[in-house]
Amino acid sequence: MSTVVDCSLADSSISEFSDTKPLLDVQEACSMLDYAEIEEDDCEVVADVYLWDELPSEEGVDDVEIEIDDANDVFVDLHPGCDLLFAFDNSMTHRARAPDGLDANLLNLSDGGKNTKLTRPGWYMSQNADGSVTRVEQPMQTAAGIQKGLKTILTERGKFMDSGGGPLRKICNFCKGRVSIQERIAGGFHIQKCCAVRVLSEEPDFAEQKEWLTEEVEKLGHSVIFYPKYHCELNFIENIWGWLKSHHRSNCSYNFRDLSEGLPQTIETGIPLAFIRRAARSCFRFMNAYRLGLVGPLLDYAVKKYSGHRRIPAGVTAAALQEGYDKCTARGKGTK
């Protein structure tokens, strides 16, 4: 049995961490949201929403661990024996790595640095004389305890050289400007060895570095997914925020103290369970419609037409939906 857990942070501010992962096509991303395919008989009711009152602090290494542990305690008590799937917004804050995580973008070219944090050990594969390969553990600090820079790390791996055999610069203009691979090729830059940041980022230990949230959740034996960017219709926590705003606008005393005291109480006990379920079903319909290849007004029409369902009925074809949408448009109704 599975239980879906929507864990969204109340503060939506963005950190300075860079997100280097490619943006998924929304249809592909929806296909990865496996919980939308879980049959109702095999799944607990999707109605658990855990809201954190503040973002994890970058100074407090234990903050994320504490928040994840708290959420785990709540849901393990509510759903013993279930597999928990944590779903997070795909924001830069949520995709940030742990303070000691491996991130080439945060390292200086030379050793040390005023604001450089100490990172966990890395590893690389070294080729022996007989052609065999050995995994080598690499400390990321010098014998004096100073954080190694890009040059030292890559030199120890025998990779501090560009495609012409010369030393690598820290970061090239193409990588700094996040230029596409096609533009790199057109500009004559070697895709693999354009700069130290790129070369180290593509090393297995750095490339396999997971997000801080993912690490902490997986430590507890649970799973994590991230909603695709720029598609808030897939995340039902957005409907919860909308309900909270509407509720407090309708019951506003225009007193900040009343709002600061009333909001936590509403979050704790005032959100109707039936509304949470309705919001989740709406997101499931959007996911299902994306999987069917629906886009634009036709997608909105299908989601609205089958608003009482968790997904678009199996027998409904895109052609039938298009015919229905055309009739509505002809009558002037559209998708409104």
Indicate the pLDDT class of residue 109, thresholds 50, 70 and 90: very high
| Share above pLDDT 90 across residues of the chain, in percent, rounded to a whole number | 18
Strands (E), the chain: 2-9, 49-52, 83-88, 122-127, 133-138, 223-226
The two tokens of residue 307 are 């608003």
Position 88 pLDDT exceeds 60: yes
Report the DSSP beta bridge partners of residue 133. Answer: 127
- Domain segments of the chain as ranges: 2-96+212-291, 104-207, 295-336
Tokens of residue 305, six digits: 């037409």
The CA distance from 287 to 236, in Å, is 11
Name the token pair of 327: 């009739």
Question: Taking all residues of the chain, what is their mean pLDDT, rounded to a whole number?
Answer: 77
Closest alpha carbon to 120 in 195, 19, 208: 208
d(C-alpha 298, C-alpha 289), whole Å: 9
Task: Measure the CA–CA gap between 55 and 94, rounded to whole angstroms.
Answer: 9
What confidence score (pLDDT) does residue 124 get?
93
Which architecture does CATH list for 2-96+212-291? Answer: 2-Layer Sandwich (3.30)
Give me the pLDDT at residue 187, please.
Answer: 63
pLDDT over 70 for what percent of the chain?
Answer: 75
Q: Does position 260 have pLDDT exceeding 90, yes or no?
A: no
Range of lowest pLDDT (23-27, 47-51, 71-75, 305-309): 47-51
95 close to 225: Cβ distance less than 8 angstroms = no
pLDDT tens-place string over residues 185-205: 676 655 567 789 989 998 999
Query: What residue type is assigned to position 34 of the chain?
Result: D
pLDDT at 56 over 90: no
The pLDDT of residue 45 is: 37
Q: What single-letter amino acid sits at 30?
A: C
pLDDT band with cut points at 50, 70 and 90 for residue 23: very low
- C-alpha span between 76 and 172 (Å, rounded): 48
pLDDT in tens, 268-287: 888 888 888 888 888 888 98
Q: Report pLDDT digits (tens) over 132-187.
A: 999 999 999 999 999 999 999 999 998 888 767 788 889 887 777 766 667 666 76
Q: State the Cα–Cα distance between residues 113 and 142, nearest whole angstrom.
A: 13
- Higher-scoring residue by pLDDT: 47, 225: 225
